[in-house]
Amino acid sequence: MTLTAKPPLVEIRNLTKRFGDRVAVKDLDLCIYPGECLGLLGPNGAGKTTTIYMLLGLVRSTSGEISVFGESISKRLKQIKLRIGVVPQRDNLDPDLTVLENLIVYAAYFGIDRSAAGKSADDLLGFFALKNRRDEIIQHLSGGQRRRLLLSRALINAPELLILDEPTIGLDPQARHLIWERLEDLRSRGTTMLLTSHYMDEVSRLTSRVLILDEGKVVAQGDPGEMVADTMGSEVFEVADSPEKLDALEKTLCSCKVDIERVVDKLFIYAHEPCDKLETMAMTLSHVSKRPTNLEDLFLKLTGRTLREN
Amino acid sequence: MWFLFYKVWLRNARVWRKHVWASLIGNLGQPFLFLLAMGFGLGRQIPQIEGVTYLQFIGPGLVASAVMYSGSFETMYGSYTRLTTQRTYEAILMTPVSVEELALGEIVWAATKGILSGLIMLAALPLFGLIPSPWILALIPILFLEGILFASLGLIMTALAGDYEFFNYFTSLFITPLFLFSGIFFSISAMNPVIQKISLALPLTHAVNLSRMLCYGRIGPDWPIHALVIIILSVFCAWVAIVLIRRRLIL
């Protein structure tokens, strides 16, 4: 049985949110199926965090329906939230409390009793390599430790759905790898996840399906590997040279089945099928690099290379 | 559906225990200094008021004002910090705790701090020559409601505030005038009728009057009015505070 044959854990239909004149999310449809990790991608301001906040009842939708675990959030928000864990984009650990207290106090909000909370907290601090920091105050933690604590906190209620809003933002490679390993471990144990991230390597590694948002709308969705191969081809040539030479090159390649993108003094050539001219070009020009296409290429193609936040 | 407010209360109580002395001195310093300055300083030069010494006269009012100060300051500076820089509210709202429970937890917590300050002032009254009557047991629920009232007003300010400076309006234009003109330092019954009426419009006046009645054990005929005003205002302000906090937090 494929994942999509089961009823979705999260079902969003026709979701729209306006803040005054600004449309943050427009007619969004989204399903998350049990056991999958869905990646929600998009430039800053595309509506990812707003969607998550609507899912949690922290932002009221303008129109549309959200149901989680088969129940409408407008009717059963409290019961639904009992089964969700959240790693927010911006750190909101309780700075008045120690590492351990952050977990114990958070568990209390879920109605988990003190002894059960203590045991879960111990396990989670072990799982995220924070055991020797348990009595530390939050201000003394490094960025990576704070993120790991946020993850521990999100798991204190053993959630069936884990929402990760840029979980490794601003971390060094070591810390990111540790978090990825833990998330893969959770995924293998069946935890359903919704992940937003700007790190395409993270998305490729963790998600089984992605949904790309731009300006509040879905612009593409599917299996990340298949989407890249279908839209971008398998390889890309990056050519750096003088504008005249690039102009000439563009002309010679017009008979090949390629997509060409010109960015200032650089040419990106996406080959959909082998082409002799392309191979010759790669051999003769000096500033050419050839690499496999990736999710970042697709992302930039769909959402543009220009900065969005102006 | 409202029971999780207790968890918010517990969270605040846990943090408070860590800085208990700083917190108590912050809340009690001012009324104690007033008791010393006005009572021992000014009081020596003032004859008896309403049949008691000046020190005995101002003591019950300062009990009521201690509740007002610690209740409202907690929901202004404390709650605003948790709302903004600390993002504690956001974290709490990601759990099953609802925004109504969160706001109620904050109000009840601040009222708890208020009543604690009031009780300490009450316990200190004998130092100033006032042995309270057994009626003060009835004062405890009154002080708690007074705490709810001022905590709610503080939380309303927090819901409306864009920065900490905003609280200066409330403190300078509301709290300080209440402190000075609610009959703590002079007898309102000796004033002209217009001033008496204005004074009755100030919420603290009712708490001061009840506090005085119950401390001296001299229960006047108008006690039900004072009690009713405090009950109605505390419930109404708590409701407004919850509505405004919900509007601020749920976009």
Q: Is B37 exposed, middle or buried (0-12, 13-18, 19+ CB in 10 A)?
A: exposed
pLDDT tens, position by position, B88-145: 999 999 999 999 999 999 999 999 999 998 998 888 888 778 888 888 888 999 999 9
pLDDT number for residue B148: 97
Q: Determine contact, residues A97/A135, Cβ cutoff 8 Å.
A: no
Give B88 to chain A, closest Cα distance, Å. 6
B95 contact A CB<8A = yes
Q: Determine contact, residues B127/B98, Cβ cutoff 8 Å.
A: no
Instruction: With beta carbons under 8 A apart, name residues in chain A contacting B92.
Output: 109
pLDDT number for residue A5: 66
Instruction: With beta carbons under 8 A apart, name residues in chain B contacting A97.
Output: 14-15
Short-list B104, B109, B82, CA closest to B246: B104
pLDDT number for residue A1: 44
* Of A54-68, A77-91, A210-224, minimum mean pLDDT range: A210-224
- The mean pLDDT of chain B is 89
Question: To 5 degrees, how large is the angle CA A156–CA A162–CA A167?
Answer: 95
Short-list A29, A28, A35, CA closest to A4: A35
pLDDT tens, position by position, B148-202: 999 999 999 999 999 999 999 999 999 888 888 888 888 887 788 888 888 888 8
pLDDT tens, position by position, A240-291: 877 777 777 777 777 777 788 887 778 888 877 777 777 777 667 767 888 8
Helix (H, G, I), strand (E, B), or coil: what is residue B52? strand
pLDDT tens, position by position, A151-192: 999 999 999 999 999 988 888 888 888 889 888 988 898 899
CA distance B199 to B61: 14
Does this model's pTM top 0.95? My answer is no
Q: Which residues contact A277 (CB under 8 A, 6 or more apart)?
A: A252, A253, A255, A256
Lookup result for tokens 């299996």: A223
**A133: its two tokens:** 């920091």
B10 contact A CB<8A = yes
Indicate yes or no: CB of B91 within 8 angstroms of CB of A97.
Answer: no
pLDDT number for residue A251: 78
**A122: its two tokens:** 């111990």
Please state the rounded mean pLDDT for residues A100-116.
94
Instruction: Tell me B44's DSSP state.
Output: G
pLDDT number for residue B21: 85
Identity of the residue in A60, A81, A91 whose CB atom sits nearest the CB atom of B95? A81
pLDDT number for residue B1: 57
Identity of the residue in B15, B86, B97 whose CB atom sits nearest the CB atom of A109? B97
- Looking only at Cα atoms, what is the longest distance across chain A? 73
Q: What is the 3-state secondary structure (H, E, C) of chain A?
A: CCHHHCCCCEEEEEEEEEECCEEEEEEEEEEECCCCEEEEECCCCCCHHHHHHHHCCCCCCCEEEEEECCEEHHHHHHHHHCCEEEECCCCCCCCCCEHHHHHHHHHHHCCCCHHHHHHHHHHHHHHCCCHHHCCCEHHHCCHHHHHHHHHHHHCCCCCCEEEEECCCCCCCHHHHHHHHHHHHHHHHCCCEEEEECCCHHHHHHHCCEEEEEECCEEEEEECHHHHHHHHHCCEEEEEECCHHHHHHHHHHHHHCCEEEEEECCEEEEEECCCCHHHHHHHHHCCCEEEEECCHHHHHHHHHCCCCCCC
The model's confidence at residue A2, banded by pLDDT at 50, 70 and 90, is: low
A158 contact B CB<8A = no
- The mean pLDDT of chain A is 86
- Which of B79, B82, B95 is best to mutate for the A interface (most A CBs within 10 A)? B95
pLDDT higher than 60, residue A310:
no
Indicate yes or no: CB of A105 within 8 angstroms of CB of B96.
Answer: no
Strands A258-263 and A266-271: antiparallel
Helix (H, G, I), strand (E, B), or coil: what is residue B47? coil
Q: What percent of chain A has pLDDT over 70?
A: 96
B143 vs A298, which has greater pLDDT? B143
Q: Is B8 exposed, middle or buried (0-12, 13-18, 19+ CB in 10 A)?
A: buried
